[in-house]
Amino acid sequence: MELEKHYIPDTLMLEERAKAVMNCIIGMADEDYNYIPFFNANLVEKPAHMTHGDWDFGSSHGRLIDALTLARTMTGETFGEEVEEKYKENLLSFFKEDGMNYRLPEVIVGDPTANMIDQRAVILALTSWYLTTKDPKAKEAADKHVAALKRIAIKEKDVWYYPASEYTEKGWPSKNAVHIRLAPDPASFCGRLMMPLLKYHEATGNQDALELCEFFSALIIHRSGVFNEDGSFNASLAYRSGHFHTRIGTLESLARYAGFTRDASITHFVKKSYDWVLKQCTAFGWTPGDLQEQAYEHETCSLVDLIATGIALAHSGYSEYWGVVERFIRNHLTESQLLDLDWVEQREDKSMDEPGYKTYYKVAERSRGAFAGYSAPNDFACDVNHGRGHTSDLQLCCIGSGTRGLFMGWSNTVTEHNGTVRVNFLLNRGSRWLDVYSYLPHEGRVELKINQDIGNLEIRIPKWAGYNKVRVEREWEGQQRIQTGRDASSWI
């Protein structure tokens, strides 16, 4: 008897990409420096090398712990658990009694400081860590951290903010800055922080986290000036020249908060700005770094912010963004992942290394699976005449956020709400309700294998398909029914 064969199309599998990036998340660890991961890599230079940097502490560790948690959820892979343990131990060791996460004094000049951008990655990691393991260590640190974030916020009647980019053990570095109500770039330090705070509130009910979101969203929308009236970014120097990653990250925070509070006015605020951003980037999602000197370099981080904001808007009813986001996932996120390293020259020994700062050791092998740090629209390594020229090929933040981008695609491909199961992205995906087999882009064909009774099933038909031409074949108990999309909408 011949066995029935079911061929799976050889098309994009986000789970495979998540497995690939895990190699690099583990490989970036510096075993000669207490497993603190390297931050940058220069792959163009011969031989290639990786270096440590300012972001080595809460930011890098937070990003990688979050990314590993998401990649393991997608793949079930267990390799590198001992390195993950080191990352977690390190992250917890950077906390001080006051609940804030500090940079180690040996690499920074002067007193230890808690960088406010780092804190966002820290609470994100603790949230994912707690959500998947229910580890009380993660919750204890997170509760203390959120309480600290609330305690140190400068509170006015309608808005809260931070008066500097860094906090110290003795308090804010300048009493005068507090006095004269300085609120440096609220998008970088307050806006982006809302997203993990909201997630932490949803996971644990922590009220401080929600309250911070409430007052930060008021700050961004009503008082900050980060976004201009028409939705465009304020490009002045005080707003980091309209730095895309921190602005779009703020839009993601607001979009999720709007969904949570069911506040359509905030959703509208985000949509206006998102539509402006879509006009600044390529059709496949390459964004400028900012509106000034970084305009020619793109971080994977900004692309993932675009993906996450688009998904949040789609969940709030703007379903046209599902197609935009699928294009970004297929044509840029997965294209920004480094799988072929034949062009990178690596050393097989550590004789050229500068311990605690730089390594040349097996750089190609260790970075396989990474996402681009600063890329040009068509090149992984950016070395254009405009702007700053060649800077970093890998940045650890982008490796972490690239993984989060894969997870966002994977976890939103099939969703269920009140008995309606929706296929939002035409990507391969197994789920308890149904399995999606996608033949795209080789053939305009998608198969759904239904695993259980579904009250209402909807599948998004992409704009380019032409609804009238869509042919739907259903098979059930040997019966076949054929329909066309002639009288259907964009959802069938």
Q: Which residues bind Zn ion (CB under 5 A)?
A: 299, 301, 395, 397-398
The token pair at 430 is 């197994």
Q: In terms of CB distance, is 60 or 127 closer to Zn ion?
A: 60
Minimum distance from CB of 380 to Zn ion (Å)? 14
Give whichever of 395 and 424 is closer to Zn ion, judged by the CB atom. 395
Q: For Zn ion, give the closer residue by CB, 396 or 421.
A: 396
What residues form DSSP beta bridges with 415?
Answer: 422
Q: Nearer to Zn ion by C-beta: 24 or 301?
A: 301
Contact 226, 163 (CB under 8 A): no
Collect all residues with Cβ–Cβ distance below 8 Å to 309 and sequence separation of at least 6.
248, 251, 252, 255, 270, 274
Of 312, 335, 336, the residue nearest 324 (C-alpha): 312
CB of 294 to Zn ion, least distance (A): 12
Give the span between the Cα atoms of 67 and 238, in whole angstroms. Answer: 31
Closest distance to Zn ion from the beta carbon of 287 (Å):
12
Q: Which two tokens stand for residue 321?
A: 């963004």
- Asked if the bond preceding 163 is cis, omega within 30° of 0, the reply is no
Looking at beta carbons only, is 195 or 423 nearer to Zn ion? 195
Nearer to Zn ion, 43 or 470 (CB): 43
| Rounded CA separation 212/215 (Å) | 5
**CB-based contacts of 288: which residues, under 8 Å, 6+ apart?**
244, 280, 281, 294, 295, 296, 297, 298
Residue whose C-alpha is closest to residue 91's, from 23, 141, 40, 41: 141
> In the complex, what is the shortest distance from the CB of residue 108 to Zn ion, in angstroms, rounded to a whole number?
20
Nearest approach, Cβ of residue 301 and Zn ion (Å): 3
* Smallest separation (angstroms) from Zn ion to the CB of 215: 27
DSSP 3-state of 91: helix
* Of residues 143 and 290, the one with the C-beta less far from Zn ion: 290
Alpha-carbon distances, residue 313 vs 10, 28, 200, 366 (angstroms): 31, 34, 20, 36
Query: Residue 395 Cβ, how far from Zn ion at the closest point, in Å?
Result: 5
